[in-house]
Amino acid sequence: MKSRKAEGQSLMTTDLLKEGERLDDLERNGLSVIQNPGLFCFGMDAVLLSGYAKAYKGDRVMDLCTGNGIIPILMSAKTEGDFFYGMEIQSLSADMARRSVRLNSLEEKIDIIEGDIKEAGIYFDAASFDVVTSNPPYMIQGHGIAEKSDSKAIAKHEILCSLEDVVSAASYLLKNGGRLYMVHRPFRLADIFEVMRRHGIEPKRMKLVYPDAGKDPTMVLIEARKGGKPYLNVEKPLIIYGPDGKYTEEITEIYGY
């Protein structure tokens, strides 16, 4: 027989889930996230970024292109950040993110803003955040897009926002000395560094992510600092799978298994 608490949680879950959606257990602090396979579901890149980004006591954190809110939700458990915002332009994704926040009773810790990151100044004052995170669209517009209005295409391709838009918004939102954390693709590294420097954000450390030791990197994690001095620390690479085909110890620690 379910306890009253369990019954209450079950009723809330039923009330918050919509047709076609599922509830995924994040296996950390009892947190879950609402997802819709018909839209864009989060992947390992978001989880890795939530483990790479740092937020300290008193920090205000903004996640640009937040999708279903996975990064603020995970960082609320992994860091000591004071308050987390997520900004998402797609209505359906923003709605899912808000319901996930409510499901996890994180309303006093996380707020989701439905809006265009290019208009961040409408919602927030300049230099009002200590940390900005982003898992932005990776692909340059036009690379294999079947339908520009498709939510998955919008999440993967620079249709509604570009790398320039993300970095420009981060530069506006960050205090001097504030930190930008981003996960992206290695083939865009030259673009990333050029755009960051043009907007006064200096890359400070980066970590390449490899599927296994014998393959090329598929992701890069970057920390940059607004107004920082030039010096880039290239960290030890992160390997996802070991020789036995299982997650490496570092990956299991990030996931919290």
Give the tokens for residue 142: 């036009």
What are the E-state strand segments in 14-108?
A: 22-25, 32-35, 60-64, 83-88
Q: What is the pLDDT of residues 133-153, one digit of tens each?
A: 999 987 565 555 445 546 555
pLDDT for residue 160: 62
pLDDT for residue 151: 58
For the whole model, what pTM was predicted?
0.89
Q: How far apart are CA 205 and CA 233, in angstroms?
A: 4
pLDDT for residue 40: 82
Tokens 């607004």 appear where? 226
pLDDT for residue 164: 95
* Contact of 163 with 183, CB cutoff 8 Å: no
Q: How far apart are CA 75 and CA 64, in angstroms?
A: 14
Positive or negative torsion for Cα 226, 163, 172, 90:
negative
What is the DSSP secondary structure assignment for residue 119, as one 8-state letter? G
Q: Which residues contact 88 (CB under 8 A, 6 or more apart)?
A: 65, 66, 67, 69, 94, 97, 112, 113, 114, 115
Give, in order, the Cα–Cα distances in Å from 130 to each of 46, 77, 87, 232: 20, 18, 16, 20
- CATH superfamily assigned to domain 40-255: Vaccinia Virus protein VP39 (3.40.50.150)
How do the domains of the chain map onto residue ranges?
40-255
Angle formed by the axes of helices 189-198 and 163-173, nearest 10° = 40
Q: How many CA atoms lie within 13 A of 34 on its CB side?
A: 23
Give the tokens for residue 158: 């620079």
* Contact of 237 with 210, CB cutoff 8 Å: yes
Q: How far apart are CA 226 and CA 201, in angstroms?
A: 4
pLDDT for residue 204: 98
> 182 phi and psi, to 5 degrees?
-140, 145
Would you tell me how many other CB atoms lie within 10 Å of the CB of residue 199? 19
pLDDT for residue 118: 95
pLDDT for residue 2: 33
Q: Which residues contact 134 (CB under 8 A, 6 or more apart)?
A: 63, 64, 65, 166, 170, 180, 181, 182, 183
Q: How far apart are CA 159 and CA 74, in angstroms?
A: 26
C-alpha dihedral, 54 to 60 to 65 to 70, nearest 10°: 60
- pLDDT by 10s per residue, the chain, length 257: 233 333 444 545 657 899 999 999 998 999 999 999 988 889 999 999 999 999 999 999 999 999 999 999 999 999 999 999 999 999 999 999 999 999 999 999 999 999 999 999 999 999 999 999 999 987 565 555 445 546 555 445 445 689 999 999 999 999 999 999 999 999 999 999 999 999 999 999 999 999 999 999 999 999 999 999 999 999 999 999 999 999 999 999 999 86
